[in-house]
Structure 1
Amino acid sequence: MQGLYALPPGLDFADCFVQGLLERMSDQPPEALARVTILTNAATTMGALRRAFDRAGPLLLPQIRSITGIDPGPLVMPDPPVPPLARRLQLARLIAQMLALRPDLGAGHSIPVLAQSLSQLMVEMQTEGRDLSDLEAIDTGDHARHWQNALAFFKIAADFHLKNSWEDRPARQRAASEAAARDWPQGIGLPQGPVIVAGSTGSHGATRLYMQAVAALPNGAVVLPGFDFDQPPPVWDGLERADDHPQARFAPLIATAGYPRRWTQAQPPSAARNRLVSLALRPAPVTDQWIAEGPALPDLVPATADLTLIEADQPGQEAETIALIMRDAAERGDLITLIAADSGLIRRVTAALDRWHIRPDDSAGRPLPLTAPGLFLRQVAALFGQPLTIDRLLILLKHPLTATGSTVIKRNDMLRETRELELQLRRNGPAFPDADTLADWATKGDETRKIWAEWLAAMLVRITALARDRGPRPLPDRLSDLMGLAQALAAGPAGDVDQSRLWQDKAGQMARAVLDHLAEHAGLGPDIGPGDFSALLVTELQAKAVREDVAGHHCLRIRGPREARLYAHGTVILSGLNEGGWPQHLSPDPWLSRQMRAAAGLPLPERQIGLAAHDFQQGIAAERVILTRAKRDAEAETIPSRWLNRLINLMSGLPERNGPAALTAMRNRGQHWLQLAEALSRPAQRSHSA
């Protein structure tokens, strides 16, 4: 067990990996397995491997760890890493000082968004082993003045941020990888037992360097997921320059460790379909190979017999059709996995399934900003620096968390008074309610209205003061204002915030933890205005998601594209296959242009397209696959995903392999589901007897 191994697309990676490992350990005593260390790329992979070992029977389990958690050790870096939030706030302070001198450099961006993008760029610098000297080598003579100014600031920020490598986890991972690559070949610091890297593509420099070091160990192995064994050697030779290709991440590993061997002899569900997809996804400079190799493909009708193509008219129809397919699988007890990159499509599908009271197992959960506490905090933060309109006030009063800590007024009474207030304000105004308006309205009702109006008038006094505060203020003060106002609104008249529902459930506890963590490091941040504070709040909340406590249907799973390597088996729905959906649009880099990134030795933006393409290649190799897209969105006609477009074009150009007939059959199978979904959405016709 030494060197580079791989599993082809379409196999259950976790089960096949465990099977191959147990076969290799079959001639050793049971305790030998406990000395094996398995390094994975993500927590989801760790969980899948543990479940696969459980299914394998009673065993002494190996050590399963995350490859991103490798560390050079306390002797090299004795101090613990600094929390990423603290580092982002330090960068935000630098950016705020820059914008005070050069506002044009941050036009159209908030300070938190700029700090987030700059932090991500620093992570790339650290994982790729780059430093200030690489930035100094960039020739900006042919670049616009904006890029020259941005690079000048980036050099200052990099000199500050990259100075102490022990402060950041990515830098520590890079240091550990460099130490392994340097010391292990000399026999220094060798691992005590076998080491296996499983499920990682080596997309980051630090991870790739460590994988190369492990593959060179006498008792080390690297097992790649979704490796294309159908790709000919000449394509691999030039693949390092094709960042948007699904297999490009494997090219550097092959260059150092050689061509991988099969980890097991398990075969994918359809080898013929894998050959078709492999040819369709060839790099753009060699698509002339379609003409040369296309006629050698097998008959495409049986190769695509388990492929279905659904082209809906609009996203709502796509979601309803997907929900109908998942309902059918639930009725038959068949396992089905929806893989989607578009969170909006996932919400539509979940809502469509809810009509039958079916709850799928969604691994992503609900983003914290979309939960009740997250929305409440965002709505309160939106009051800062903005005049209080009728709509803003009513949205806040009707929120299910408002005044839930009060014992002197019940929820139904509060909603009734809110409705009466809405009628009053809609009819008579004013457009911007204030405390005087509430005082006059309170005299025209009973004691309940008086209690409610007096409390609300006091809240409006606080809100009005915060609405007039539009200038930059210290971040701790902004956060204190948010916490104070949110808790007062949740407590209600003569209420207690601890008795309210603001921090009680899982989402509330998570939101409170986010705010407490932000408060702990707020002193490092800059003075910011209300708009930047709202952006910072959303950014921090967006990093968290809440999994529902209610168990989902055991047959229905919703997963993200990165989980395709673990769940792309059985029946799979690849949804949202439009440009901008899957793959998603590339985020612009406000700091370095594409040419500047290449000159600094940093990954190009197209790398994200290549990673998404690899997810697609693994997903489409499942036993049964349903491809879905919408022809239009809310604004205009959509463009099919580049991978789906390539597949359709290749099949259309191979009449001698029955490509057009196979494509028509795929669309006919999809049309069947579209017709069923349309019939289901149509109201039942009632017959009227004469």
Structure 2
Amino acid sequence: MTFFAPAPGPRVFALPPGADFLGALVAGIEARLPAGDLFGPDPLALAEVEIWVNTRRAARALEERMAMGGPRLLPRIRVVTELADAALAPVDLPVPVPPLRRKLELARLVRGLVSAAPELAPGNAVFDLADSLAELLDELQDEGLSPSALARVDAAEHAAHWQKSLAFLQLISGYLEAAGPGGGPGRLRAAATALAARWAVAPPTHPVIVAGSTGSRGAMRVFMTAVASLPQGALVLPGLDPSLPPAVWSRLGRDDAGASDHPQHGFRRLADAIGFDPATVPLWRPAPPPAPERNALVSLALRPAPVTDQWREEGAALLGALGAASERLSWIEAPDPRREALAIALALREAAETGQRAALITPDRTLARRVAAELDRWGVIPDDSAGRPLGLTPPGTLLRRLAVLIGRALTPADLLSILKHPLVASGSGARAPHLRLTARLERAKLRGGAPWIDWPDLGLWADAEGGEAPGWIVWLHEALAPLAAGGAMPLAHHLALHRSTAEALAAGPAGDPAHGLWEEAPGVEAAALFTLAEAEAEAGGELSPADYRGLFQSLLVGRDVPEAAAVTHPGLAIWGTLEARIQSADLVVLGGLNEGIWPRLPGADPWLGRGLRRTIGLPSPEDRIGLSAHDFQQAMGAPSVIVSRAIRDVEAPTVASRWLLRLENLLLGLGTEGAEALKAARARGQRLVAIAQRLDEPTERVSPARRPAPRPPSAARPRELSVTQVETLIRDPYAIYARKVLRLRPLDRPGREPDAISRGIVIHAALDDFVTATLDALPEDAEAIYRETIERALVRNAPWPAVRAIWTARLARASRWFLGGEAARRRRALPEHREVSGRREVPGLEHPFAVTARADRLDVTPDGRVAIYDYKSGNAKSDAEIAAFHLQLPLEAAIAAAGGFEGLAPAEVVHLELLYFGNRESRAIDPETLARTWERFAALAAHYQSAETPFIARLRPQKISWAGDYDHLSRKGEWTDGDEP
């Protein structure tokens, strides 16, 4: 079949940016079909056409477009990657090394490098470096370069880092050479080269068309060169800019022009490789772009730098058409990513309601998920084939959490995160009793308990609970205990331990095999990941738990799972940049147009610097930016376009994409007409942002909560306070109201942390042991006893090895200060009472009221008088603050004077002292203030017994940043400390 007329050179066609690529492609093919016996083209001739596209989604879209043309046989539509498939390869290619095996083998080589030269990279970067090394190997094979080319490079003129990395690459070049083409670009290039050789001898007689590829990769250029040279072969290029003058095309072809980030640079490289003039490429079919004025504006804005002279010379030709260029352009600059997503969702919904086909194009998957979530508020589901990352699905999150626990002691927070995962105990009938036991265990043992899980202790709790609890704890222990014992071992053992633990947890105490871990698409994908890893585990060698965690995390990256089947809206889609090249829509939203997102900046190559890459013949990293720029230019040619960015992300202000900045500068430089066009585009975008802002505003104004000052009846008011709660009553009466009247207690965090409370427990335990060991005068070896008691207390009460070492050093440095003061304390009185409870009633009140205490230490003189000491782990307070707020010791003295402490008769108090270990200071309190303090406290107690006295929130906070346990209950934030209560 003669489909194309003979041509003197390679046969290349193109379509301009914004053209309906698939529609024009199909129309061009139909126009070239030979006539049939009846009216119209031969319906059988189309079956002889062979079309190659980039992605499977593009193949499906092309099939759908072809099927709209009536009853006929469809052409053979194939994806370029099928060239390297074993069943379809043109020649017998060697069996590729599986990517995971290559990754594991490269990781072992990299681990050896990092061990020998630890200054090059941290140990936890081994698998990331292995991935980057695999990418380098793919690039070499894609460009047809042998790894042996590395051996011919002299790195003497480069930095020492590059010399070391190049020496390593040269050392392993033999391995890289022997590895041969893998399953990616190298194998594709080998297949394309073999096919080109075969076609050179026996070219196919049927039409062969490569549609929608830019030829940015070396293997594709080989294949496209072969197809363009066939008697009935042709290329159809997407988004070739017809407005670029020959001088610019010439500039794009110079290596020193710095134009590799230009959108048409890839076509310049393809033209040089194949041998055609990009400035004279004919149209595949007369298909005028829907927005030619905007195409011309974008083309001029993206000219390679320096461009100022061209903007001045050629910009005048755009005057008079700038209104048309920006008429259907909207420019969104949202204050934050969430508002950007909501504005985009509103635009998509508006397009769908007016019968338009609309698409969001973005490389930012986070933005895509946000937009899909915002559309879901109206029950609209866009067609998004990218799916969800496996690591964010229920099986992925459970497997990630378990990987972190290998070789680590289990904490209460870890255990709770596992117990509450939806896939744990997901067998039939197991979930409800599991959640009931989890809630009981959390309240009884996990919150505020030991920092590590003590399985025997949990067993005692389960025995006391009875019922299903003992068997449930045994199941948890048998499932999770092996993880903590896991150390360095072969990869196969890590995988078996990881899988068996996950399955045991999912099966529940009854061991039900019909659990949900491996069900549905995420579970199937997770099971496939394990199967793949187990098949190649032999190449992994022995891994530490940290290495295994790094490997597993890297395996999850890049694996997406299709979302659960749902009825998607036929007119709305979310595309990646690759998918968007040959698809079109009435409205296109370009989202995430910030530097670092679109374009994504090229990452640093840890193996080869730019100079070394250029010497070897590898493409510049900026080539990828040029490809992104082409996607931007192609999308900007749609009938209606919205460009969108967030002015700020979660961390800092953002920088607009370089393409937006160029477009803005060009418009502003074109005088009043350009400025007005830009202003109008921004106004249309601001309309969407304003609607998004109003959408979340309440329909009725809700007044903020006032600063609370509740007045409970006298009968409900507290009847006693501890001496430490008196300061709380002075500073934040509302906290006393919440705790004593409402009986609300702060929920402890899971486990214990090395905070000030834990440090105080250690100090009190250590000093209590020290005093017990030295009841009389201090012995000569007092310092040794002090250090010994410190170590014992830390072992009992600080189960954090690193923290224990730090606290040991700090408390040891305080030994001389403490023992020097202790000698004076022993001369004053001898310690007789420690951790003793006391109580004293306040007389003369309408309702009974008492103050309670638990004194750290009471020393008694030979004549029966008392000295009271209190140990503090923090820094010393000022005398003024102690006098105003810290009434603990004076109130304990008042209790002692009244005989309120157990085992102690009424006694005169001769000394009060606060010992601050935080900055090794002590503060004595004048006993003469005792009477005044008791009078103040009695007055305070009487004041708060009155039903008219409010419990004001944050009455006297210590600092502006001071946070109380009940601030959220009092709705702090809706009011400030200066508001009237």
Which TM-score band (shorter chain)? over 0.9
**What's 1:422 paired with?**
442
Q: Letter of the aligned partner of 1:122 in structure 2?
A: L
1: CA distance, partners of 2:298 / 2:467: 72
Q: Letter of the aligned partner of 1:4 in structure 2?
A: V
**Gaps spanning 5+ residues in structure 2: where?**
37-41, 704-981
**What's 1:535 paired with?**
550
The alignment status of 1:300 with 2:322, answered yes or no, reads: yes
Out of 14, 18, 23, which is 1:10 matched to? 18
1: CA distance, partners of 2:367 / 2:474: 44
The alignment status of 1:486 with 2:502, answered yes or no, reads: yes
**What's 2:469 paired with?**
449
**What's 1:250 paired with?**
267
Kindly indicate whether the alpha-carbon contact (under 8 Å) linking 2:408 and 2:483 is maintained by their aligned counterparts in 1: no
Kindly indicate whether the alpha-carbon contact (under 8 Å) linking 2:89 and 2:191 is maintained by their aligned counterparts in 1: no
Kindly indicate whether the alpha-carbon contact (under 8 Å) linking 1:12 and 1:565 is maintained by their aligned counterparts in 2: no
2: CA distance, partners of 1:511 / 1:333: 39
Q: Letter of the aligned partner of 2:545 in structure 1?
A: P
Q: How does 1:533-682 map to 2 (within 5 A)?
A: 533-548=548-563, 549-655=565-671, 658-682=673-697
**What's 1:433 paired with?**
453
Bigger Cα displacement from structure 2, 593-602 vs 247-256: 247-256
2: CA distance, partners of 1:86 / 1:464: 28
Kindly indicate whether the alpha-carbon contact (under 8 Å) linking 1:10 and 1:621 is maintained by their aligned counterparts in 2: yes
**What's 1:138 paired with?**
153
RMSD: 2.2
Structure 1, residues 355-413: CA drift from partner, whole Å, max 9, x if none? 22322221211111111111111111111133322222111111100011265xx3222
1: CA distance, partners of 2:89 / 2:658: 47
The alignment status of 1:202 with 2:210, answered yes or no, reads: no
The 4+ residue runs of structure 1 with deviation greater than 6 A are 72-75
1: CA distance, partners of 2:284 / 2:530: 46
Kindly indicate whether the alpha-carbon contact (under 8 Å) linking 1:406 and 1:492 is maintained by their aligned counterparts in 2: no
CA shift, 1:455, in A, is 1.9
2: CA distance, partners of 1:539 / 1:116: 9
**What's 2:62 paired with?**
49
The alignment status of 1:393 with 2:415, answered yes or no, reads: yes
Kindly indicate whether the alpha-carbon contact (under 8 Å) linking 1:438 and 1:457 is maintained by their aligned counterparts in 2: no
Distance change >3 Å, CA 246–CA 74, structure 1 → 2? closer
1: CA distance, partners of 2:559 / 2:219: 25
**What's 1:22 paired with?**
30
Q: How does 1:121-520 map to 2 (within 5 A)?
A: 121-163=136-178, 165=180, 167-179=182-194, 184=199, 187-240=200-253, 241=255, 242-255=259-272, 256-259=275-278, 260-298=281-319, 299-405=321-427, 407=429, 410-425=430-445, 427-466=447-486, 469=487, 471=488, 473-496=489-512, 498-520=513-535
**Gaps spanning 5+ residues in structure 1: where?**
none
Kindly indicate whether the alpha-carbon contact (under 8 Å) linking 1:36 and 1:62 is maintained by their aligned counterparts in 2: yes
Structure 1, residues 493-521: CA drift from partner, whole Å, max 9, x if none? 0222x310001111101110111011111
Query: What SS class does the counterpart of residue 629 from structure 1 fall into?
Result: strand
Q: Could you state the TM-score of these two structures normalised by the residue count of structure 1?
A: 0.94
Query: What SS class does the counterpart of residue 694 from structure 2 fall into?
Result: helix
2: CA distance, partners of 1:118 / 1:157: 11
Kindly indicate whether the alpha-carbon contact (under 8 Å) linking 1:406 and 1:495 is maintained by their aligned counterparts in 2: no
2: CA distance, partners of 1:660 / 1:597: 43
Q: Letter of the aligned partner of 1:596 in structure 2?
A: L
Q: Letter of the aligned partner of 2:220 in structure 1?
A: T
Structure 1, residues 45-93: CA drift from partner, whole Å, max 9, x if none? 2122111111122222222222233259879535432322222222222
**Greater helix share, 1 or 2?**
1
1: CA distance, partners of 2:468 / 2:382: 43
Q: Letter of the aligned partner of 1:604 in structure 2?
A: S
Structure 1, residues 472-531: CA drift from partner, whole Å, max 9, x if none? x211111111111111111110222x3100011111011101110111111112322222
Kindly indicate whether the alpha-carbon contact (under 8 Å) linking 2:26 and 2:66 is maintained by their aligned counterparts in 1: yes
1: CA distance, partners of 2:149 / 2:74: 44
**What's 1:69 paired with?**
82
Structure 1, residues 175-220: CA drift from partner, whole Å, max 9, x if none? 3333455565xx4132242211111110111111221222122211
Distance change >3 Å, CA 494–CA 206, structure 1 → 2? same
Distance change >3 Å, CA 80–CA 189, structure 1 → 2? farther
Q: Letter of the aligned partner of 1:584 in structure 2?
A: R
Kindly indicate whether the alpha-carbon contact (under 8 Å) linking 2:294 and 2:325 is maintained by their aligned counterparts in 1: yes
Kindly indicate whether the alpha-carbon contact (under 8 Å) linking 1:337 and 1:567 is maintained by their aligned counterparts in 2: no
Query: What SS class does the counterpart of residue 140 from structure 2 fall into?
Result: helix
CA shift, 1:97, in A, is 2.7
Structure 1, residues 640-682: CA drift from partner, whole Å, max 9, x if none? 00111111111011016x1100000001111111111111111
Kindly indicate whether the alpha-carbon contact (under 8 Å) linking 2:90 and 2:194 is maintained by their aligned counterparts in 1: no
Q: Letter of the aligned partner of 1:25 in structure 2?
A: L
Out of 48, 53, 60, which is 2:73 matched to? 60
1: CA distance, partners of 2:79 / 2:570: 27
2: CA distance, partners of 1:273 / 1:167: 43
The alignment status of 1:105 with 2:120, answered yes or no, reads: yes
Distance change >3 Å, CA 463–CA 166, structure 1 → 2? closer
Kindly indicate whether the alpha-carbon contact (under 8 Å) linking 1:48 and 1:566 is maintained by their aligned counterparts in 2: no
Query: What SS class does the counterpart of residue 279 from structure 1 fall into?
Result: helix
Q: Letter of the aligned partner of 1:570 in structure 2?
A: D
Kindly indicate whether the alpha-carbon contact (under 8 Å) linking 1:568 and 1:621 is maintained by their aligned counterparts in 2: no
Out of 684, 690, 698, which is 1:683 matched to? 698
1: CA distance, partners of 2:464 / 2:376: 43
Kindly indicate whether the alpha-carbon contact (under 8 Å) linking 1:568 and 1:618 is maintained by their aligned counterparts in 2: no
Kindly indicate whether the alpha-carbon contact (under 8 Å) linking 1:578 and 1:641 is maintained by their aligned counterparts in 2: yes
- Percentage identity across aligned positions? 45
Kindly indicate whether the alpha-carbon contact (under 8 Å) linking 1:281 and 1:643 is maintained by their aligned counterparts in 2: yes
CA shift, 1:143, in A, is 1.3
Q: Letter of the aligned partner of 1:237 in structure 2?
A: S
Distance change >3 Å, CA 454–CA 183, structure 1 → 2? closer
Q: Letter of the aligned partner of 2:659 in structure 1?
A: W
Bigger Cα displacement from structure 2, 394-403 vs 209-218: 209-218
Q: Letter of the aligned partner of 2:33 in structure 1?
A: M
Query: What SS class does the counterpart of residue 572 from structure 1 fall into?
Result: strand
Bigger Cα displacement from structure 2, 624-633 vs 321-330: 321-330
Q: Per chain length, whose mean CA-contact separation is higher, i.e. which structure has more relative contact order (CA < 8 Å, sep 6+)?
A: 1
Kindly indicate whether the alpha-carbon contact (under 8 Å) linking 2:13 and 2:236 is maintained by their aligned counterparts in 1: yes
Distance change >3 Å, CA 447–CA 99, structure 1 → 2? same
Bigger Cα displacement from structure 2, 577-586 vs 117-126: 577-586
CA radius of gyration, larger in: 2
Kindly indicate whether the alpha-carbon contact (under 8 Å) linking 1:239 and 1:248 is maintained by their aligned counterparts in 2: yes
Q: Could you state the TM-score of these two structures normalised by the residue count of structure 2?
A: 0.67
Distance change >3 Å, CA 326–CA 239, structure 1 → 2? same
Query: What SS class does the counterpart of residue 309 from structure 1 fall into?
Result: strand
Count residues with an aligned counterpart: 678
Kindly indicate whether the alpha-carbon contact (under 8 Å) linking 2:91 and 2:194 is maintained by their aligned counterparts in 1: no
2: CA distance, partners of 1:79 / 1:582: 38
Q: Letter of the aligned partner of 1:11 in structure 2?
A: A
CA shift, 1:465, in A, is 1.4
